[in-house]
Structure 1
Amino acid sequence: MADALYLGLDGGGTNSRARLTDAAGLVLGEGVAGSSNLTLGVDVAATAIRAATAAALDAAGLDASALGRVRAGLGLAGANVPSLAAAIAAEPFGYAAVAVASDAVAACLGAHGGRDGAILILGTGSQGLALVQGRATAVGGWGFQIGDDGSGAILGRAAVRAAILSIDELAPRSALTRAVMARFHDDPSEAVIWAKSAVARDYARFAPLVFEHRAAGDAVAEALIDEAVAGVGAQLDRLMALGASRIVLVGGLAEPYRPWLPERFAPVLVAAEGDPMDGALALARREAA
Protein backbone atom coordinates (compact mmCIF):
# COMPACT_ATOMS: atom_id res chain seq x y z
CA MET A 1 0.00 0.00 0.00
CA ALA A 2 3.04 2.29 0.21
CA ASP A 3 2.61 3.30 -3.42
CA ALA A 4 -1.15 3.87 -3.05
CA LEU A 5 -2.61 7.22 -4.01
CA TYR A 6 -5.71 8.73 -2.44
CA LEU A 7 -8.12 11.05 -4.23
CA GLY A 8 -10.76 13.12 -2.48
CA LEU A 9 -13.30 14.77 -4.77
CA ASP A 10 -15.91 17.31 -3.70
CA GLY A 11 -18.57 17.56 -6.38
CA GLY A 12 -21.18 20.28 -6.08
CA GLY A 13 -23.57 22.15 -8.31
CA THR A 14 -20.96 24.57 -9.66
CA ASN A 15 -17.68 22.67 -9.83
CA SER A 16 -15.76 19.56 -8.83
CA ARG A 17 -12.56 19.88 -6.82
CA ALA A 18 -10.14 16.97 -6.47
CA ARG A 19 -7.15 16.54 -4.15
CA LEU A 20 -4.55 13.81 -4.62
CA THR A 21 -2.31 12.62 -1.78
CA ASP A 22 0.20 9.87 -1.21
CA ALA A 23 -0.17 7.16 1.44
CA ALA A 24 1.35 9.45 4.08
CA GLY A 25 -1.18 12.21 3.37
CA LEU A 26 1.16 14.54 1.49
CA VAL A 27 -0.79 16.59 -1.06
CA LEU A 28 0.55 15.90 -4.53
CA GLY A 29 -1.86 17.87 -6.68
CA GLU A 30 -5.32 19.34 -7.04
CA GLY A 31 -7.68 19.76 -9.96
CA VAL A 32 -10.94 21.52 -10.79
CA ALA A 33 -13.61 20.73 -13.34
CA GLY A 34 -17.31 21.36 -13.94
CA SER A 35 -20.31 20.30 -11.90
CA SER A 36 -20.64 16.65 -10.86
CA ASN A 37 -24.06 17.07 -9.28
CA LEU A 38 -25.66 13.70 -10.01
CA THR A 39 -29.08 15.22 -10.53
CA LEU A 40 -27.74 16.82 -13.71
CA GLY A 41 -27.14 13.34 -15.09
CA VAL A 42 -24.69 10.56 -14.27
CA ASP A 43 -22.91 11.07 -17.61
CA VAL A 44 -22.42 14.77 -16.89
CA ALA A 45 -21.08 14.01 -13.42
CA ALA A 46 -18.77 11.25 -14.67
CA THR A 47 -17.25 13.58 -17.27
CA ALA A 48 -16.49 16.20 -14.59
CA ILE A 49 -15.07 13.58 -12.20
CA ARG A 50 -12.74 12.28 -14.88
CA ALA A 51 -11.63 15.80 -15.78
CA ALA A 52 -10.95 16.81 -12.16
CA THR A 53 -9.08 13.57 -11.56
CA ALA A 54 -6.95 14.07 -14.66
CA ALA A 55 -6.18 17.65 -13.60
CA ALA A 56 -5.09 16.50 -10.12
CA LEU A 57 -2.89 13.77 -11.60
CA ASP A 58 -1.38 16.23 -14.04
CA ALA A 59 -0.62 18.68 -11.21
CA ALA A 60 1.18 15.81 -9.45
CA GLY A 61 3.21 15.04 -12.57
CA LEU A 62 1.31 11.81 -13.21
CA ASP A 63 -0.84 10.54 -16.05
CA ALA A 64 -3.69 8.09 -16.53
CA SER A 65 -1.37 5.13 -15.99
CA ALA A 66 -1.44 5.98 -12.27
CA LEU A 67 -5.23 5.51 -11.99
CA GLY A 68 -4.82 1.88 -10.94
CA ARG A 69 -3.08 3.09 -7.76
CA VAL A 70 -5.81 5.57 -6.85
CA ARG A 71 -8.28 4.94 -4.03
CA ALA A 72 -11.00 7.52 -4.58
CA GLY A 73 -13.58 9.05 -2.29
CA LEU A 74 -16.33 10.93 -4.11
CA GLY A 75 -18.50 13.33 -2.13
CA LEU A 76 -21.17 14.28 -4.64
CA ALA A 77 -24.28 16.42 -4.65
CA GLY A 78 -27.21 14.12 -5.39
CA ALA A 79 -25.55 11.02 -3.94
CA ASN A 80 -28.16 11.02 -1.18
CA VAL A 81 -30.38 9.42 -3.85
CA PRO A 82 -29.35 5.73 -3.67
CA SER A 83 -29.95 4.93 -7.34
CA LEU A 84 -27.75 7.82 -8.45
CA ALA A 85 -25.00 6.88 -5.97
CA ALA A 86 -25.04 3.30 -7.25
CA ALA A 87 -24.91 4.44 -10.86
CA ILE A 88 -21.85 6.64 -10.40
CA ALA A 89 -20.10 4.00 -8.29
CA ALA A 90 -20.53 1.57 -11.20
CA GLU A 91 -18.81 3.92 -13.68
CA PRO A 92 -15.54 2.45 -15.06
CA PHE A 93 -13.26 5.23 -13.84
CA GLY A 94 -10.27 2.91 -13.52
CA TYR A 95 -9.66 3.60 -9.82
CA ALA A 96 -8.30 0.82 -7.62
CA ALA A 97 -11.26 1.43 -5.30
CA VAL A 98 -14.03 3.98 -4.99
CA ALA A 99 -16.35 5.09 -2.20
CA VAL A 100 -19.35 7.34 -2.89
CA ALA A 101 -21.25 9.49 -0.41
CA SER A 102 -23.17 12.74 -0.56
CA ASP A 103 -21.25 15.98 -0.61
CA ALA A 104 -22.82 16.69 2.79
CA VAL A 105 -21.31 13.55 4.36
CA ALA A 106 -17.89 14.39 2.93
CA ALA A 107 -18.12 17.99 4.11
CA CYS A 108 -19.16 16.94 7.63
CA LEU A 109 -16.33 14.44 7.93
CA GLY A 110 -13.86 17.08 6.82
CA ALA A 111 -15.27 19.81 9.03
CA HIS A 112 -15.20 17.87 12.28
CA GLY A 113 -12.25 15.55 11.81
CA GLY A 114 -14.49 12.52 12.11
CA ARG A 115 -16.07 13.62 15.39
CA ASP A 116 -19.75 14.29 16.04
CA GLY A 117 -21.06 17.53 14.62
CA ALA A 118 -23.10 18.97 11.81
CA ILE A 119 -22.69 21.05 8.70
CA LEU A 120 -24.98 23.21 6.67
CA ILE A 121 -23.93 23.56 3.05
CA LEU A 122 -24.86 26.92 1.59
CA GLY A 123 -23.74 27.04 -2.00
CA THR A 124 -25.47 26.56 -5.32
CA GLY A 125 -27.64 24.11 -3.41
CA SER A 126 -28.16 23.61 0.32
CA GLN A 127 -28.22 20.66 2.68
CA GLY A 128 -27.65 20.02 6.34
CA LEU A 129 -26.18 16.89 7.84
CA ALA A 130 -25.79 15.84 11.46
CA LEU A 131 -23.35 13.15 12.56
CA VAL A 132 -24.40 12.16 16.08
CA GLN A 133 -23.16 8.98 17.78
CA GLY A 134 -22.10 7.58 14.44
CA ARG A 135 -25.45 8.16 12.77
CA ALA A 136 -25.80 10.50 9.81
CA THR A 137 -29.10 12.33 9.36
CA ALA A 138 -29.63 14.61 6.40
CA VAL A 139 -31.77 17.73 6.40
CA GLY A 140 -32.93 19.01 3.03
CA GLY A 141 -30.79 18.69 -0.04
CA TRP A 142 -33.63 17.63 -2.31
CA GLY A 143 -32.64 19.84 -5.20
CA PHE A 144 -33.36 23.23 -6.65
CA GLN A 145 -36.81 22.37 -7.95
CA ILE A 146 -38.38 21.22 -4.66
CA GLY A 147 -36.01 22.21 -1.86
CA ASP A 148 -32.62 23.80 -1.15
CA ASP A 149 -33.90 26.69 0.98
CA GLY A 150 -31.24 29.34 1.50
CA SER A 151 -29.20 28.14 -1.47
CA GLY A 152 -27.70 30.41 -4.07
CA ALA A 153 -30.07 28.98 -6.67
CA ILE A 154 -33.18 29.73 -4.62
CA LEU A 155 -31.96 33.19 -3.62
CA GLY A 156 -30.94 34.00 -7.19
CA ARG A 157 -34.26 32.82 -8.56
CA ALA A 158 -36.06 35.01 -6.03
CA ALA A 159 -34.00 37.98 -7.24
CA VAL A 160 -34.86 37.31 -10.88
CA ARG A 161 -38.54 36.90 -9.99
CA ALA A 162 -38.52 40.17 -8.02
CA ALA A 163 -36.95 41.95 -10.97
CA ILE A 164 -39.53 40.61 -13.42
CA LEU A 165 -42.41 41.51 -11.09
CA SER A 166 -41.02 45.02 -10.80
CA ILE A 167 -41.28 45.46 -14.56
CA ASP A 168 -45.06 45.14 -14.31
CA GLU A 169 -45.07 47.27 -11.13
CA LEU A 170 -46.35 44.28 -9.16
CA ALA A 171 -43.38 44.66 -6.83
CA PRO A 172 -41.06 47.56 -5.98
CA ARG A 173 -38.13 48.54 -8.11
CA SER A 174 -34.74 49.06 -6.54
CA ALA A 175 -31.05 49.13 -7.36
CA LEU A 176 -31.09 45.33 -7.07
CA THR A 177 -33.93 44.79 -9.52
CA ARG A 178 -32.30 47.19 -11.98
CA ALA A 179 -28.98 45.34 -11.65
CA VAL A 180 -30.69 42.02 -12.30
CA MET A 181 -32.52 43.33 -15.35
CA ALA A 182 -29.27 44.80 -16.67
CA ARG A 183 -28.03 41.21 -17.00
CA PHE A 184 -30.85 40.72 -19.50
CA HIS A 185 -30.25 44.05 -21.28
CA ASP A 186 -33.41 45.38 -19.61
CA ASP A 187 -35.49 43.05 -21.77
CA PRO A 188 -37.89 40.74 -19.88
CA SER A 189 -38.35 38.69 -23.04
CA GLU A 190 -34.66 37.83 -22.92
CA ALA A 191 -35.11 36.70 -19.30
CA VAL A 192 -38.02 34.45 -20.30
CA ILE A 193 -35.95 32.75 -22.99
CA TRP A 194 -33.01 32.36 -20.60
CA ALA A 195 -35.24 30.83 -17.91
CA LYS A 196 -36.39 28.07 -20.26
CA SER A 197 -33.01 26.37 -20.00
CA ALA A 198 -31.57 27.88 -16.80
CA VAL A 199 -30.35 25.41 -14.17
CA ALA A 200 -29.48 25.89 -10.53
CA ARG A 201 -25.99 27.27 -11.10
CA ASP A 202 -27.35 29.84 -13.55
CA TYR A 203 -29.71 31.25 -10.94
CA ALA A 204 -27.02 31.04 -8.26
CA ARG A 205 -24.90 33.58 -10.16
CA PHE A 206 -27.40 36.25 -9.07
CA ALA A 207 -27.02 35.51 -5.34
CA PRO A 208 -23.90 37.67 -4.82
CA LEU A 209 -25.84 40.64 -6.22
CA VAL A 210 -28.45 40.21 -3.50
CA PHE A 211 -25.88 40.24 -0.69
CA GLU A 212 -24.07 43.19 -2.27
CA HIS A 213 -27.25 45.27 -2.39
CA ARG A 214 -28.39 44.12 1.06
CA ALA A 215 -25.17 45.53 2.50
CA ALA A 216 -25.97 48.83 0.77
CA GLY A 217 -29.42 48.97 2.36
CA ASP A 218 -31.51 47.97 -0.66
CA ALA A 219 -35.08 47.28 0.52
CA VAL A 220 -35.80 44.51 -2.00
CA ALA A 221 -32.52 42.77 -1.19
CA GLU A 222 -33.31 43.07 2.53
CA ALA A 223 -36.66 41.32 2.05
CA LEU A 224 -35.07 38.54 0.00
CA ILE A 225 -32.28 37.99 2.52
CA ASP A 226 -34.76 37.96 5.41
CA GLU A 227 -36.76 35.24 3.68
CA ALA A 228 -33.63 33.24 2.89
CA VAL A 229 -32.33 33.58 6.46
CA ALA A 230 -35.60 32.12 7.75
CA GLY A 231 -34.95 29.03 5.65
CA VAL A 232 -31.35 28.79 6.85
CA GLY A 233 -32.48 29.23 10.46
CA ALA A 234 -35.05 26.45 10.17
CA GLN A 235 -32.35 24.06 9.00
CA LEU A 236 -30.00 25.08 11.82
CA ASP A 237 -32.77 24.54 14.36
CA ARG A 238 -33.41 21.06 12.99
CA LEU A 239 -29.72 20.13 13.19
CA MET A 240 -29.64 21.26 16.81
CA ALA A 241 -32.78 19.24 17.55
CA LEU A 242 -30.98 16.18 16.18
CA GLY A 243 -28.33 16.63 18.86
CA ALA A 244 -25.66 18.62 17.07
CA SER A 245 -23.86 21.01 19.41
CA ARG A 246 -21.29 22.08 16.81
CA ILE A 247 -22.32 23.26 13.35
CA VAL A 248 -20.04 24.41 10.55
CA LEU A 249 -21.38 26.53 7.71
CA VAL A 250 -19.71 25.55 4.45
CA GLY A 251 -20.04 26.60 0.83
CA GLY A 252 -19.66 29.81 -1.07
CA LEU A 253 -22.51 31.58 0.74
CA ALA A 254 -21.49 30.59 4.27
CA GLU A 255 -19.68 33.82 5.04
CA PRO A 256 -22.13 36.14 3.22
CA TYR A 257 -24.96 34.76 5.37
CA ARG A 258 -23.17 35.09 8.73
CA PRO A 259 -23.88 38.81 9.40
CA TRP A 260 -27.60 38.27 8.92
CA LEU A 261 -28.12 35.15 11.05
CA PRO A 262 -29.83 35.51 14.45
CA GLU A 263 -27.43 35.87 17.38
CA ARG A 264 -28.89 32.78 19.06
CA PHE A 265 -26.93 30.57 16.64
CA ALA A 266 -23.54 32.06 17.59
CA PRO A 267 -22.77 29.51 20.37
CA VAL A 268 -23.06 26.50 18.05
CA LEU A 269 -21.43 27.87 14.89
CA VAL A 270 -17.77 26.84 14.77
CA ALA A 271 -14.93 26.98 12.28
CA ALA A 272 -14.17 23.98 10.08
CA GLU A 273 -11.12 21.84 10.84
CA GLY A 274 -10.86 20.68 7.23
CA ASP A 275 -12.62 21.04 3.91
CA PRO A 276 -14.90 18.69 1.93
CA MET A 277 -11.94 17.27 0.00
CA ASP A 278 -10.44 16.20 3.34
CA GLY A 279 -13.71 14.46 4.10
CA ALA A 280 -13.72 12.76 0.70
CA LEU A 281 -10.15 11.61 1.35
CA ALA A 282 -11.37 10.13 4.64
CA LEU A 283 -13.97 8.20 2.64
CA ALA A 284 -11.24 6.90 0.36
CA ARG A 285 -9.11 5.75 3.28
CA ARG A 286 -12.06 4.02 4.95
CA GLU A 287 -12.80 2.18 1.72
CA ALA A 288 -9.16 1.11 1.43
CA ALA A 289 -9.16 -0.08 5.04
Structure 2
Amino acid sequence: MTASDETPVYLAADCGGTNCRVRLFNEDGALLSEGLGGPSNASLGLEPVLSEVFRATRNALARLNGATIPLSRLHAGLAIAGLVEEERRQEFLRIPHPFASMTAETDAFVAQLGAFAGGDGGLLITGTGSCAFAVKGDKKFYLGGWGFPVSDQGSGARLGHLAVRRALQAYDDILPTSPLCKKILAEVGTHPPEVSGWARTAKPADYGALASTVIEYAVKEDEVARSLVRTIAEEVNQMIRSLVRRDVKEIHHIGGFAEPIRPWLDKAHGRYLAKPRGDVFDGALRLINNRTGLINKTGKARE
Protein backbone atom coordinates (compact mmCIF):
# COMPACT_ATOMS: atom_id res chain seq x y z
CA MET A 1 0.00 0.00 0.00
CA THR A 2 1.65 3.25 -1.12
CA ALA A 3 0.88 6.96 -1.26
CA SER A 4 -0.12 6.57 -4.93
CA ASP A 5 -2.70 3.89 -4.13
CA GLU A 6 -6.16 5.47 -4.33
CA THR A 7 -8.18 2.76 -2.59
CA PRO A 8 -10.09 4.21 0.38
CA VAL A 9 -8.97 3.65 3.95
CA TYR A 10 -11.44 4.10 6.80
CA LEU A 11 -10.60 5.73 10.11
CA ALA A 12 -12.89 4.83 13.02
CA ALA A 13 -12.30 6.80 16.22
CA ASP A 14 -13.71 6.42 19.72
CA CYS A 15 -13.16 9.80 21.41
CA GLY A 16 -13.79 9.65 25.16
CA GLY A 17 -12.98 11.39 28.40
CA THR A 18 -9.96 9.18 29.13
CA ASN A 19 -8.47 8.54 25.70
CA CYS A 20 -8.96 8.51 21.94
CA ARG A 21 -8.79 5.10 20.26
CA VAL A 22 -8.37 4.94 16.50
CA ARG A 23 -8.56 1.97 14.16
CA LEU A 24 -7.80 1.90 10.44
CA PHE A 25 -9.69 -0.45 8.12
CA ASN A 26 -9.42 -1.28 4.42
CA GLU A 27 -12.39 -1.17 2.07
CA ASP A 28 -13.24 -4.81 2.93
CA GLY A 29 -13.49 -3.96 6.64
CA ALA A 30 -10.25 -5.69 7.64
CA LEU A 31 -8.33 -4.09 10.50
CA LEU A 32 -5.04 -2.56 9.34
CA SER A 33 -3.75 -0.84 12.46
CA GLU A 34 -4.73 1.02 15.62
CA GLY A 35 -3.43 3.90 17.70
CA LEU A 36 -4.07 5.72 20.95
CA GLY A 37 -4.37 9.39 21.94
CA GLY A 38 -5.33 11.30 25.06
CA PRO A 39 -8.62 12.66 26.50
CA SER A 40 -10.93 13.77 23.69
CA ASN A 41 -14.32 14.66 25.15
CA ALA A 42 -16.10 17.47 23.25
CA SER A 43 -16.23 19.50 26.46
CA LEU A 44 -12.50 20.11 25.98
CA GLY A 45 -13.20 21.82 22.63
CA LEU A 46 -13.16 20.39 19.12
CA GLU A 47 -9.63 21.51 18.29
CA PRO A 48 -8.19 19.51 21.21
CA VAL A 49 -10.40 16.57 20.19
CA LEU A 50 -9.11 16.61 16.60
CA SER A 51 -5.56 17.06 17.88
CA GLU A 52 -5.89 13.77 19.77
CA VAL A 53 -7.51 12.12 16.75
CA PHE A 54 -4.55 13.21 14.63
CA ARG A 55 -2.10 11.97 17.26
CA ALA A 56 -3.80 8.58 17.52
CA THR A 57 -4.08 8.34 13.73
CA ARG A 58 -0.41 9.06 13.16
CA ASN A 59 0.36 6.48 15.83
CA ALA A 60 -1.72 3.96 13.89
CA LEU A 61 -0.16 4.93 10.55
CA ALA A 62 3.32 4.47 11.98
CA ARG A 63 2.46 0.83 12.71
CA LEU A 64 1.68 -0.07 9.10
CA ASN A 65 5.00 -1.81 8.47
CA GLY A 66 6.35 0.68 5.98
CA ALA A 67 3.10 1.40 4.13
CA THR A 68 2.52 5.09 3.43
CA ILE A 69 -0.99 6.51 3.67
CA PRO A 70 -1.53 10.30 3.76
CA LEU A 71 -4.32 11.68 5.93
CA SER A 72 -6.01 12.87 2.74
CA ARG A 73 -6.76 9.22 1.85
CA LEU A 74 -8.63 8.55 5.09
CA HIS A 75 -12.41 8.65 5.44
CA ALA A 76 -13.02 9.41 9.12
CA GLY A 77 -15.97 8.47 11.32
CA LEU A 78 -15.73 9.86 14.84
CA ALA A 79 -17.65 8.82 17.96
CA ILE A 80 -17.21 11.87 20.21
CA ALA A 81 -18.27 11.86 23.85
CA GLY A 82 -20.19 15.00 24.81
CA LEU A 83 -20.98 16.14 21.26
CA VAL A 84 -24.44 17.30 22.32
CA GLU A 85 -24.44 21.11 22.44
CA GLU A 86 -25.80 22.63 19.24
CA GLU A 87 -23.02 25.23 19.13
CA ARG A 88 -20.39 22.49 19.31
CA ARG A 89 -22.19 20.42 16.67
CA GLN A 90 -22.32 23.40 14.32
CA GLU A 91 -18.62 24.02 14.98
CA PHE A 92 -17.87 20.46 13.87
CA LEU A 93 -19.50 21.13 10.49
CA ARG A 94 -17.12 24.05 9.87
CA ILE A 95 -13.80 23.01 11.40
CA PRO A 96 -11.01 22.42 8.81
CA HIS A 97 -9.56 18.92 8.56
CA PRO A 98 -7.09 17.01 6.37
CA PHE A 99 -9.20 13.90 5.69
CA ALA A 100 -10.89 12.76 2.48
CA SER A 101 -14.16 13.00 4.43
CA MET A 102 -15.16 13.39 8.07
CA THR A 103 -18.40 12.60 9.86
CA ALA A 104 -19.23 12.36 13.55
CA GLU A 105 -21.90 11.76 16.16
CA THR A 106 -22.02 11.27 19.91
CA ASP A 107 -20.23 8.21 21.24
CA ALA A 108 -23.57 6.80 22.42
CA PHE A 109 -25.17 7.22 18.98
CA VAL A 110 -22.24 5.53 17.23
CA ALA A 111 -21.90 2.72 19.78
CA GLN A 112 -25.65 2.01 19.51
CA LEU A 113 -25.30 1.90 15.73
CA GLY A 114 -22.58 -0.74 16.10
CA ALA A 115 -24.14 -2.74 18.93
CA PHE A 116 -27.48 -3.18 17.19
CA ALA A 117 -26.24 -3.13 13.56
CA GLY A 118 -28.42 -0.13 12.81
CA GLY A 119 -31.52 -1.63 14.46
CA ASP A 120 -33.57 -0.89 17.58
CA GLY A 121 -32.10 -1.07 21.07
CA GLY A 122 -30.68 0.89 23.97
CA LEU A 123 -27.05 1.71 24.64
CA LEU A 124 -25.79 2.67 28.11
CA ILE A 125 -22.23 3.95 28.43
CA THR A 126 -20.55 4.23 31.83
CA GLY A 127 -16.93 5.24 31.52
CA THR A 128 -15.26 8.42 32.68
CA GLY A 129 -18.62 10.00 31.83
CA SER A 130 -22.00 8.45 31.17
CA CYS A 131 -24.78 8.61 28.62
CA ALA A 132 -27.59 6.48 27.23
CA PHE A 133 -29.05 6.47 23.75
CA ALA A 134 -31.87 4.38 22.33
CA VAL A 135 -33.58 3.80 19.01
CA LYS A 136 -37.13 2.48 18.85
CA GLY A 137 -38.64 2.59 15.41
CA ASP A 138 -38.49 6.17 14.18
CA LYS A 139 -37.86 7.49 17.70
CA LYS A 140 -34.42 8.32 19.05
CA PHE A 141 -33.64 9.70 22.50
CA TYR A 142 -30.76 10.48 24.85
CA LEU A 143 -30.49 10.19 28.62
CA GLY A 144 -27.79 12.22 30.33
CA GLY A 145 -24.49 13.01 28.69
CA TRP A 146 -24.73 16.72 29.47
CA GLY A 147 -21.23 17.00 30.94
CA PHE A 148 -19.47 16.30 34.23
CA PRO A 149 -20.53 19.35 36.28
CA VAL A 150 -24.27 18.73 35.82
CA SER A 151 -24.65 15.15 34.57
CA ASP A 152 -22.57 11.94 34.13
CA GLN A 153 -24.45 10.03 36.81
CA GLY A 154 -23.22 6.50 37.42
CA SER A 155 -19.82 7.29 35.91
CA GLY A 156 -16.25 6.75 37.04
CA ALA A 157 -15.69 10.49 37.29
CA ARG A 158 -18.72 10.89 39.51
CA LEU A 159 -17.52 8.09 41.81
CA GLY A 160 -14.07 9.67 42.03
CA HIS A 161 -15.60 13.06 42.78
CA LEU A 162 -17.76 11.63 45.58
CA ALA A 163 -14.70 9.90 47.02
CA VAL A 164 -12.69 13.14 47.19
CA ARG A 165 -15.58 14.96 48.90
CA ARG A 166 -16.05 12.09 51.34
CA ALA A 167 -12.32 12.03 52.16
CA LEU A 168 -12.44 15.74 53.03
CA GLN A 169 -15.49 15.18 55.22
CA ALA A 170 -13.50 12.52 57.06
CA TYR A 171 -10.52 14.87 57.43
CA ASP A 172 -12.79 17.51 58.98
CA ASP A 173 -14.31 14.87 61.28
CA ILE A 174 -17.77 15.50 59.85
CA LEU A 175 -18.09 11.81 59.00
CA PRO A 176 -16.05 8.75 60.08
CA THR A 177 -12.83 8.03 58.26
CA SER A 178 -11.69 4.77 56.67
CA PRO A 179 -8.66 3.36 54.84
CA LEU A 180 -10.22 4.55 51.57
CA CYS A 181 -10.42 8.14 52.81
CA LYS A 182 -6.75 8.08 53.75
CA LYS A 183 -5.80 6.55 50.41
CA ILE A 184 -7.73 9.17 48.44
CA LEU A 185 -6.09 12.01 50.36
CA ALA A 186 -2.70 10.45 49.70
CA GLU A 187 -3.53 10.57 45.99
CA VAL A 188 -4.80 14.15 45.67
CA GLY A 189 -3.37 16.08 48.65
CA THR A 190 -2.76 15.37 52.31
CA HIS A 191 -4.39 18.56 53.57
CA PRO A 192 -7.57 20.36 52.39
CA PRO A 193 -5.75 23.35 50.80
CA GLU A 194 -3.75 20.89 48.67
CA VAL A 195 -6.91 19.02 47.68
CA SER A 196 -8.61 22.30 46.82
CA GLY A 197 -5.65 23.26 44.64
CA TRP A 198 -5.75 19.89 42.89
CA ALA A 199 -9.49 20.22 42.28
CA ARG A 200 -9.13 23.63 40.62
CA THR A 201 -7.43 22.06 37.61
CA ALA A 202 -8.80 18.49 37.83
CA LYS A 203 -10.58 17.18 34.76
CA PRO A 204 -13.18 14.38 34.63
CA ALA A 205 -10.42 11.93 33.69
CA ASP A 206 -8.56 12.85 36.91
CA TYR A 207 -11.61 12.02 39.02
CA GLY A 208 -12.30 8.94 36.91
CA ALA A 209 -8.79 7.66 37.62
CA LEU A 210 -9.78 7.34 41.29
CA ALA A 211 -12.77 5.06 40.56
CA SER A 212 -10.69 1.87 40.45
CA THR A 213 -9.31 2.67 43.91
CA VAL A 214 -12.82 3.03 45.32
CA ILE A 215 -13.88 -0.28 43.75
CA GLU A 216 -10.74 -1.96 45.10
CA TYR A 217 -11.50 -0.81 48.66
CA ALA A 218 -15.17 -1.73 48.32
CA VAL A 219 -14.13 -5.29 47.49
CA LYS A 220 -11.96 -5.18 50.63
CA GLU A 221 -15.11 -4.43 52.67
CA ASP A 222 -14.25 -0.77 53.35
CA GLU A 223 -17.68 0.51 54.38
CA VAL A 224 -17.14 4.05 53.06
CA ALA A 225 -16.10 2.65 49.68
CA ARG A 226 -19.05 0.27 49.64
CA SER A 227 -21.46 3.10 50.41
CA LEU A 228 -20.06 5.23 47.58
CA VAL A 229 -20.17 2.36 45.08
CA ARG A 230 -23.75 1.53 46.07
CA THR A 231 -24.69 5.18 45.45
CA ILE A 232 -23.17 5.10 41.97
CA ALA A 233 -24.69 1.69 41.21
CA GLU A 234 -28.14 3.06 42.02
CA GLU A 235 -27.52 5.92 39.60
CA VAL A 236 -26.79 3.35 36.87
CA ASN A 237 -29.93 1.42 37.91
CA GLN A 238 -31.94 4.62 37.47
CA MET A 239 -30.72 5.00 33.89
CA ILE A 240 -31.56 1.38 33.08
CA ARG A 241 -35.04 1.79 34.58
CA SER A 242 -35.57 4.92 32.52
CA LEU A 243 -34.75 3.02 29.32
CA VAL A 244 -37.08 0.18 30.34
CA ARG A 245 -39.91 2.65 31.01
CA ARG A 246 -39.53 3.78 27.42
CA ASP A 247 -40.19 0.20 26.33
CA VAL A 248 -36.61 -0.48 25.26
CA LYS A 249 -36.43 -4.28 25.10
CA GLU A 250 -32.66 -4.72 24.78
CA ILE A 251 -29.89 -2.73 26.44
CA HIS A 252 -26.17 -3.00 25.83
CA HIS A 253 -24.01 -1.69 28.70
CA ILE A 254 -20.48 -0.66 27.71
CA GLY A 255 -17.63 1.61 28.81
CA GLY A 256 -14.55 1.30 30.95
CA PHE A 257 -16.62 1.48 34.13
CA ALA A 258 -19.29 -1.00 32.97
CA GLU A 259 -17.56 -4.19 34.16
CA PRO A 260 -16.41 -2.83 37.56
CA ILE A 261 -19.89 -1.54 38.48
CA ARG A 262 -21.90 -4.47 37.06
CA PRO A 263 -21.69 -6.73 40.16
CA TRP A 264 -23.29 -3.92 42.19
CA LEU A 265 -26.30 -3.42 39.91
CA ASP A 266 -29.84 -4.70 40.39
CA LYS A 267 -29.69 -8.33 39.27
CA ALA A 268 -33.22 -8.05 37.83
CA HIS A 269 -31.80 -5.85 35.06
CA GLY A 270 -29.84 -8.77 33.65
CA ARG A 271 -32.79 -9.85 31.52
CA TYR A 272 -32.60 -6.65 29.50
CA LEU A 273 -28.88 -6.86 28.73
CA ALA A 274 -28.30 -7.78 25.08
CA LYS A 275 -25.32 -9.35 23.38
CA PRO A 276 -23.88 -6.74 21.00
CA ARG A 277 -23.69 -7.38 17.28
CA GLY A 278 -20.74 -5.01 16.97
CA ASP A 279 -18.82 -2.28 18.79
CA VAL A 280 -18.26 1.46 18.51
CA PHE A 281 -15.78 0.96 15.66
CA ASP A 282 -18.36 -1.01 13.69
CA GLY A 283 -20.74 1.88 14.36
CA ALA A 284 -18.18 4.39 13.09
CA LEU A 285 -17.81 2.42 9.85
CA ARG A 286 -21.59 2.44 9.44
CA LEU A 287 -21.54 6.18 10.13
CA ILE A 288 -19.13 6.67 7.23
CA ASN A 289 -20.74 4.28 4.77
CA ASN A 290 -24.34 5.30 5.50
CA ARG A 291 -23.52 9.03 5.45
CA THR A 292 -25.23 9.26 8.85
CA GLY A 293 -24.71 11.96 11.46
CA LEU A 294 -22.84 15.25 11.14
CA ILE A 295 -21.01 15.49 7.83
CA ASN A 296 -18.20 18.03 7.60
CA LYS A 297 -17.96 19.44 4.07
CA THR A 298 -15.28 22.01 4.86
CA GLY A 299 -12.20 22.29 2.69
CA LYS A 300 -9.18 20.43 3.94
CA ALA A 301 -6.56 21.91 6.23
CA ARG A 302 -2.93 21.14 5.58
CA GLU A 303 -1.65 17.95 7.19
TM-score bracket, normalised by the shorter chain, equals over 0.9
Q: Following superposition, which runs of at least 4 residues in structure 1 exceed 4 angstroms of deviation? A: none
Counterpart residue number, 2:85: 81
Rounded to whole Å, the distance in 2 between the matches of 1:242 and 1:260 is 23
Counterpart residue number, 1:56: 60
Rounded to whole Å, the distance in 2 between the matches of 1:185 and 1:201 is 17
Rounded to whole Å, the distance in 2 between the matches of 1:47 and 1:28 is 21
Counterpart residue number, 1:111: 115
- Give CA deviations for 1:158-202 in whole Å, capped at 9, x if unaligned: 000000110011111111111101113523222111011111111
- Give CA deviations for 1:73-128 in whole Å, capped at 9, x if unaligned: 11101212222123234222221111110011111112222221111110010001
Residue aligned with 1:19, SS:
strand
TM-score using structure 1 length: 0.94
8 Å contact from structure 2 (residues 12, 22) kept in 1: yes
Counterpart residue number, 2:207: 203
The answer to whether structure 1 residue 186 and structure 2 residue 195 are counterparts is no
Structure 1 residue 2: Cα displacement:
7.7
- The one of 280, 290, 293 aligned to 1:286: 290
Alignment of 1:87-166 (within 5 A): 87-166=91-170
The answer to whether structure 1 residue 230 and structure 2 residue 246 are counterparts is no
- Structure 1: 5+ residue runs without aligned partners? none
- Structure 2: 5+ residue runs without aligned partners? 293-303
Structure 1 residue 226: Cα displacement:
1.5
Instruction: Give, as a single letter, the amino acid of the residue that structure 2 aligns with 1:29.
Output: S
Rounded to whole Å, the distance in 1 between the matches of 2:204 and 2:38 is 13
The answer to whether structure 1 residue 169 and structure 2 residue 180 are counterparts is no
8 Å contact from structure 1 (residues 9, 281) kept in 2: no
Rounded to whole Å, the distance in 1 between the matches of 2:247 and 2:63 is 41
Q: 1:134 to 1:58 in 2, by over 3 A?
A: farther
Counterpart residue number, 1:4: 8
Q: Alpha carbon RMSD of aligned pairs, Å?
A: 1.7
Rounded to whole Å, the distance in 2 between the matches of 1:287 and 1:53 is 21
8 Å contact from structure 1 (residues 71, 285) kept in 2: no
**Equivalent pairs, count:** 287
Percent sequence identity is 36
Q: 1:58 to 1:76 in 2, by over 3 A?
A: same
Instruction: Give, as a single letter, the amino acid of the residue that structure 1 aligns with 2:218.
Output: R
Structure 1 residue 134: Cα displacement:
4.2
Moved more, 201-210 or 52-61: 52-61
Rounded to whole Å, the distance in 1 between the matches of 2:7 and 2:142 is 36
Alignment of 1:267-278 (within 5 A): 267-278=271-282
8 Å contact from structure 1 (residues 46, 91) kept in 2: no
